[in-house]
Structure 1
């Protein structure tokens, strides 16, 4: 079986568990990533004789496997890695982790066992076939570890990694496309582990020339390894402080690049310590001594060619802080260098929880620029543990809107420079000044409270629904008086009326039809998945087409529809595609027997179990779940099993009811109770004694009846279990009879298309709940007028007065 992304992730994270001990993530990540690197380059060298990485004798992962159980295993690991480093000029890059460190890894048997288990986990991973064209499994795994290490490292150590979702946004809004040439250059002056640069490279068809600088030695080493793992061995990553010691220079001038991306440390106070040469970077003003945000922005601006473009992540403060920063901001705006600003959600980054923004610079089109395009994307995210994360739909929407410069109410607009320069704004770029992203206030209508009726302005605000369902408004509401309407039905019947309306039925049918047509358009492409497929290109085509098909559909948000597909892709489809690419349809669909390793205690939840007890065989069906086989080929048998299961459950219910009725203190089954419990053994024993003792006839009859119920239950359970076992065996055998066409039909139609269609339909159905809740809220809010409330109060007062009078109280 091909190595799936999810399998790789779980194995890597288990390897972390082997190492954790007293180490924090900042320490054990070096060991894990070093082993990942050695394993990958060793496997690649076996598969590719032209690999750029030389794996010398005594410097491979196989040599590490040979050291398992050795008392000197740590020292041997260090020597193996050292040989690999020397052969590839990677000294002080891949050999930073000391595998013989007793303080971190333990002494004697402890370090011996720990490293032996660790290398065993990695030895099970085979990377020779994992680099399917266009799908960077290893790079994704490295990124997965980076994200987890950043999460666990806390605020002080999380800055080496820019979340992949944010990196994708920067790569796209900076202007990188499939047409970007390989000889064009991209630069990151604070590259960390290199994730941002690699996301830029991934946006191109043929790659791009990469330059980066990182001052932290360990993080620089991570970046070097990251580049090699992603197939960018030629990337030039240098060490040093970008502001005080820029490494990419031509004499007294900075080297310039076509593109730049960066996520510099926020508001660093020591940016100018040791600064000797300015390289003309501060021609538009010198940043304040205690805040380095603009130092990085100006460095990047100076590092761009005359046609250069950049995207930089900075804290929101750069948009509105005064004094020196206000002067710099004004000059940059007057020069036309700032193309756009994108406000991001808070708590996206590992180094800080404060909200940040993306500033997009564009030198090429600076002359004559008349405005700054702004996006407030602060509300588009999902909670992921203790962090927020951009969803696929958030990324796509930001990029679409920014690229097309689309105006969307409460989200985006082109802000004229004249508005920014107006004295009331004075070159302040704080996004809320220009985009009000707050939800409209839900205003209470005093006239409606006094005289009844629902305000028409509240109903008009639901225009998206009335556009989608033109007849529904008149079906639900009737005029009360000018400007107000009444519900034609009881408020409790609103949901059912909407769900049963022909227009809603038609709406959901059309949503399904759109999805069916979309899938049909791509079916041949999906049937043709093989080792040459580029998964990233495949899902891009699928996603973009789905989004465009739903764009004209009223009410439905095309980005929400897109998110349904992308969530399913990340959870299931990507692994499915990868298995088909590596093994073909038939092989990928074959059941995989689960082997339980007691020493490592790895266990997968089986999809199908054949047999019972110790002889039971457990299987996983990753591509083709058994329920799809059963639905297609064994529907009758499944119905019979379900019926037998119902009979078994009914038999169990009769036992429970009878026991509950009679196994109580003083009841007919009280004598058979043991510690307030009863079962067939106890009941049989008591029946035997009762007959011997000549006990009450009613008790004997009750015990006899209970035993009959127990026997009936046992027979029903046995029959259901045997039928289930027979069905499981038939299902397992059916896998061997399937043709490639059978597998494709089941996976493409019954699995992929069915799931995506169900998800799209759920989006349509969820919309009705929003409408129903709003109508119910308005109906309840204005259900009673002030006069009716007064009358009700007067009636209650009259009743109270009457009761008091009856009691003699005046």
Structure 2
């Protein structure tokens, strides 16, 4: 059975848990990623006799499994991984982790168990079907681990990972044509773990020829492994300092590339260490400041681009406005037309720093004819994710859309003419707020409205998108009061009902639902035709772009909000479903499977969460339905049985409530049931029955026996209700499990595509419209509250209440 992404993630992270506490996250990543690598290449070699990675028999993961539990496991794992490295010229890349290190893994039995457990976690994974096509599970899992390692490592050790969302945006900003040949080059001079390079190569349908350089030796090794794990076995990643010792050059001339991406370390103060030759990087520019390397990296990248080359670079915001030598360099870059766009990103996106960063898009093609720089302020588009911020799918798509289409969006993006940038008041300063004002309009209090009443028409005009969507609604809610002011015609408590019950809203909601249904019907064929050759990322791109297109022309509903609803569901669940169908097909993908079992560190059995469970304990039959949970079958095939079960559940709850209330009333101290309860005040059927029998034998108090008789009867009624419910639930579960075997492919596709995927997406998009209406209602209520009473009315109320207080004081004999 194919692994779900979420299952793979949890398994991989549990391997890190084995090591947590014994070493820093920056160290235990080496162990986890090494075993991930060995398992992956071993499975691929078994599945593909022509795999580029050679796996010796005594260097395979299967061989590692034979070492579990042996006293010398650490030493032998090291030897096996070294043999795999030697067979593929990967010495110093995959054999950096020491599996026999007592300072990190413990000694004796502790080390033996820890390494055996690590191997066991990977043992049940199967990567033979993993694809090197940009959307494979393994690549996603690798990114998941890298992100968590970066988070765990802290600021000083998190620089080897660029968030995947930022990487994907950068790759799309390059606008690589679909017919680009694989021989086209892409270069990252500070490549870290290689994620940026991989994202760019994935964005090109034919792939690209990859070059990179990384200074840190351990991170360089990660990049090499990352390339192989993502199917980029042919690559050239060099190790060394890019500024002082660039590896890609011809003599004293830097090699140039078609595309370039980079996320260099911010504001390095020691960039000149070991620096001897500038290789023409600073010719025609000023030298960068001795204590700040941002422009040293940027000029290296400019020099490394071909005459038609493009680049996207992450840099701190300071490069946009800092003065002195940096201002001189920035001015020259602008004059040469090299900078095509500047994009401001949210703060706290990157591991290693919390400061805001920007993307600078470089484009040498037709640079001299460039007349402006496109600027985007995307600083407000993100979601919180633990201690960091992350770009949402809607944020990513909006950035790329605005840039690619040079779309000017109020308070978000605009093309800034070079004449404006070089104007003396700006002086070649590229600080984005100078050119794009992203501040929200101030919510101004209207003094005249406070004095004379009424809601300012200006506040209502600001809600124009709603009036465009519902043209008659404003007139239904408001009437003119005087020039420039309106009056609410309904009670403020009735605003929501007035909006949602209006014919225009109902028509709009219906039209939205029909639009979604039409889109889903059109794209259903794409989904029914999923095969083993399908690429999930290509599929969702097709489906999501069509959704964006149909909502772009519609009023009120933000197309990126609808897109976000689809993509958040895709990322959370639907991607796993599609990957399962790609890997196993519709028929096998829907088959129930036995839940996975394992043992924890204390050797106690653990069970995967199951949809259907028959029996209890270790002998229970636990069934998991990855693609199609039972609820969808029950809804379609067993609605009557479900209704019967719901009725029995209600009877069970009623019986339990009657019992608990009776006990609560009579089991108190000196109550009729008090003597039957145990020392903790708990009363069971067994205790009540025994006490009743005892009282009958000795002629006990009639009232006490009557109460015991009643409670025993209630216990029996509850037990019977529970038994009936359990019997019906088991019968329904049995019917449901049997129904899976009767489903045709058409049945499966209808249940999954129409009921599960389509139903969920429709519900999410409905929620988007509901949220918009709630925002309108909330704003109208704010305005209604704000101007409900004039100042004169408030003063009158104060005088009235003051007089009332004075009268009370006089009546009490207190002088006011």
Once the two structures are superposed, the pairs formed by residues 194-593 of structure 1 within 5 Å of their partners are 194-283=194-283, 284-593=285-594
Is there any run of 5+ residues in structure 2 with no aligned partner, and where? none
Shift of 1:665: 3.7
Q: Say which SS state the counterpart of residue 642 (structure 1) adopts.
A: helix
| Mapped contact 1:133–1:533 kept (Cα < 8 A) | no
The 1:616–1:68 alpha-carbon spacing in structure 2 relative to 1, beyond 3 Å, is closer
Distance of 2:69 and 2:685 partners within structure 1: 54
Asked whether the 8 Å contact 2:73–2:112 carries over to 1, the reply is: yes
**Stretch of structure 1 that moved more, 705-714 or 36-45:** 705-714
For residues 180-210 of structure 1, the C-alpha deviation after alignment (integer angstroms, 9 at most, x for no partner) is 2211111100000100000000001110111
8 A contact 1:132–1:532 mirrored in 2: no
Q: Compared with structure 1, are the counterparts of its residues 236 and 132 closer, same or farther at alpha carbon in structure 2 (3 Å cutoff)? A: closer
Deviation at 1:610, TM superposition (A): 2.3
* Residue 157 (structure 1) aligns with: 157
- Give, in whole Å, the separation in 2 of the partners of 1:499 and 1:701: 57
8 A Cα contact 1:630 1:638, kept in partner: yes
Distance 2:33 2:332 in 1: 45
Q: Is the 8 A contact 2:132 2:230 kept in 1?
A: no
- In structure 1, C-alpha distance between the alignment counterparts of 2:66 and 2:671, rounded to whole Å: 71
Give the deviation of 1:136 after TM superposition. 2.2
Partners of 1:551 and 1:317 in 2: CA distance = 35
Alpha carbons of 1:371 and 1:113: their partners in 2 closer, same or farther (altered >3 Å)?
same
1:132–1:531 CA contact under 8 A, matched in 2: no
The verdict on how the C-alpha distance between 1:595 and 1:143 changes in structure 2, with shifts beyond 3 A counting, is closer
Which residue is equivalent to 2:646?
Answer: 642
Alpha-carbon separation, structure 1, partners of 2:47 and 2:638: 43
1:541-575 CA distance string (max 9 Å, x none): 01111111111111111111111111111111111
Question: In 2, Cα distance between the equivalents of 1:660 and 1:789?
Answer: 52
Q: Hey, what does 2:191 align to over in structure 1?
A: 191
Superposed CA RMSD in Å reads 1.6
SS of residue paired to 2:314: strand
Pairing 1:715–2:715 present:
no
Q: What is the distance in 2 between the residues matched to 1:476 and 1:198?
A: 55
SS in 2 for 1:213: strand
Given that residues 132 and 231 in structure 2 are in contact (C-alpha distance below 8 angstroms), is that contact kept between their aligned partners in structure 1?
no
| TM-fit CA distance, 1:134 | 5.5
CA deviation digits over 1:746-803, x for unaligned, max 9? 1111101011111011101111111111111111111111111111111112222222
Give the Å deviation of 1:595.
4.0
SS at match of 2:420: helix
Deviations, residues 472-499 of structure 1 (Å, cap 9, x unaligned): 1111111111111111111111112222
d(CA) in 2 for partners of 1:97, 1:696:
78
Q: Which of 657, 660, 663 in structure 1 is aligned with 2:661?
A: 657
Tell me what 1:17 maps to: 17
Structure 1 residues 716-725 or 173-182, which shifts more?
173-182
From 723, 729, 746, the counterpart of 2:751 = 746
User: 1:70 & 1:681 partners in 2: Cα distance?
Assistant: 52
Offset from partner CA, 1:392-435 (integer Å, 9 cap, x none): 11111100001111010110011111111111111111111111
Matched, 1:629 2:633: yes
Where 2:792 maps in the other structure, the secondary structure is helix
SS where residue 367 of structure 1 aligns? helix
**Corresponding residue SS for 2:310:** strand
Q: Secondary structure at the match of 1:259?
A: strand
For the 8 Å contact 2:469–2:555, the answer to whether it is kept is yes
Which region of structure 1 is more displaced relative to structure 2, 5-14 or 666-675? 666-675
Which residue pairs with 1:124 in the alignment? 124
- How far is 1:676 from its partner? 3.3
Aligned pair in 2 of structure 1 residues 805, 78: CA closer, same or farther (>3 Å)?
Answer: closer
Q: In structure 2, what is the Cα distance between the partners aligned to 1:696 and 1:137?
A: 72
**1:604 equivalenced with 2:608 (yes/no):** yes
- Looking at structure 1, the residues matched to 803 and 59 of structure 2 have their Cα atoms a distance apart, in angstroms, of 97
Q: Any conservation in 2 of the 1:648–1:716 contact (CA below 8 Å)?
A: yes
Q: Does 1:765 align with 2:763?
A: no
Alpha-carbon distance in structure 1 between the residues aligned to 2:334 and 2:304: 18
SS in 2 for 1:238: strand
Kindly state the Cα deviation for residue 683 of structure 1 after the two structures are TM-superposed: 2.9
In structure 2, the CA distance between the partners of 1:207 and 1:595, relative to structure 1 (3 Å rule), is: closer
1:797 to 779, 795, 802: 802
Q: Greater CA deviation, 799-808 or 393-402?
A: 799-808
Distance in 1 between the 2:417 and 2:344 partners?
Answer: 18
Q: CA deviation at 1:726?
A: 0.7
682-691 or 65-74: bigger deviation: 682-691
8 Å contact from structure 1 (residues 132, 534) kept in 2:
no
Q: Does 1:726 align with 2:731?
A: yes
Deviation at 1:660, TM superposition (A): 2.9
User: Is 1:788 the equivalent of 2:797?
Assistant: no
Distance in 2, matches of 1:85 and 1:597, equals 31
Once the two structures are TM-superposed, the CA of residue 614 in structure 1 deviates from its matched residue by: 5.4
Helix, strand or coil for the counterpart of 1:553?
A: coil
Give the 3-state SS of the residue equivalent to 1:160 in structure 2: coil
Match of 1:594 in 2: 595
Contact 2:179 2:205 in 1 (8 A): yes
SS of equivalent residue, structure 1 residue 597: strand
Quote the Cα distance in structure 2 between the aligned partners of 1:16 and 1:323: 47
How do residues 35-50 of structure 1 correspond to structure 2 at under 5 angstroms? 35-50=35-50
Q: For residue 517 of structure 1, give the secondary structure of its aligned residue in structure 2.
A: helix
Moved more, 228-237 or 158-167: 228-237
- TM-score, normalised to structure 1, is 0.98
- Residue by residue over 1:228-265, the C-alpha shift from the partner in whole angstroms, topping out at 9 and shown as x without a partner, is 11111111111110111011111111101111100000
Deviation at 1:149, TM superposition (A): 0.8
SS of 2:78's partner is helix
Q: Which residue of 2 aligns with 1:138?
A: 138
Aligned ranges 1:14-93 → 2 under 5 Å: 14-93=14-93
| Equivalent residues, number | 810
1:702-755 Cα deviation digits (max 9, x unpaired): 332222222212111111111111111111111111111111111111101011
How far does residue 324 in structure 1 lie from its aligned partner after superposition?
Answer: 0.6
Name which of 672, 677, 683 aligns with 1:678. Answer: 683
In 2: Cα distance, 1:347 partner to 1:600 partner: 41
Normalization by structure 2: what TM-score? 0.97
For 2:706, the equivalent position in structure 1 comes to 701
Deviates more, 1:624-633 or 1:110-119: 110-119
- Give the counterpart of 1:776 among 772, 775, 781: 781
Q: Report the alpha carbon displacement of residue 45 of structure 1 after superposing the two structures with TM.
A: 1.3
Bigger shift: residues 233-242 or 672-681: 672-681
How many angstroms does 1:69 deviate by?
2.0
The alpha carbon displacement at 1:221 in A equals 0.8
SS at match of 1:210: strand
